Structure 1
Amino acid sequence: MTELSKTDFIIQCIETDILSDQMHELRDELDKDYKYVVGIAISDKNASALSVLEQVKIKGMDVLPEKFEAAHLMSSSGVAPNKRFFSWFRPVPVSGDEMFIRFRDPDWSRVYKLQIQVLLTNNPGEIVNVLFA
């Protein structure tokens, strides 16, 4: 089993304030020092269970189905950190590419900060061993 401390990865956070129940767009350039996206997670602190990821794209390509329920990417702090990520079985190759997310929370009731965490690595085989150990 691969040790987490010896694995080459970063967690890049993409954040925005959710100000209404309307559509919010997030764009961020992924860290150019990492070659693969292997997972995604959403902090469960504030987003409602009805939240929807209308679109998630990397390099203009959909990486999740449209209108994907955000609840599938959320987990509580009681879940081990390496188990919180929704992981792709085929890592998405990147090179400083843009990630685009269209998010909506139809059950919005107050302003909150949405945090989306993207797991990047140069060694997808090693990180998969950590995620699925």
Structure 2
Amino acid sequence: MTLTAAGVRPEDLGSDTNLARRVLIEALRVASWLRTAEADEELSANVLAILDGVYKRAVVIGTGALASQGRNGTSRSYRDIRSAFFADDIRNLRSLDPAAGAEPEHGALPMGSFPTDRPLSRLFPEGPYS
């Protein structure tokens, strides 16, 4: 079985194939639609652009590197492959899903209608001097 995400293969990302495979596996975890996506040229180019940035970031920050250390050495945290994926990378990968369709015009904001008449305006009507 060949590991691909919308037509993007590990060798498309870079020379460190193990790191590239880990990036692809994490991408498949956060955007599962990539497993079954029919790879056309435009979609593959868009996915590659996002994953290329993630791969380059993973090379720079390194995985398994010490991210933070607590006082007196009581706690340590290490970088993992997920730290190379920023929130906008995940959001962009998910937004490319062809089955999801276009996003609504309002985006993530709530929709609703609000009354223009306020209760205080009935008690204190605005006069000609305001």
TM-score by length of 1: 0.22
Larger relative contact order (CA 8 Å, sep ≥ 6)? 1
TM-score by length of 2: 0.22
Judging by fraction of residues, say which structure has more helix.
2
Larger-Rg structure: 2
Judging by fraction of residues, say which structure has more strand.
1
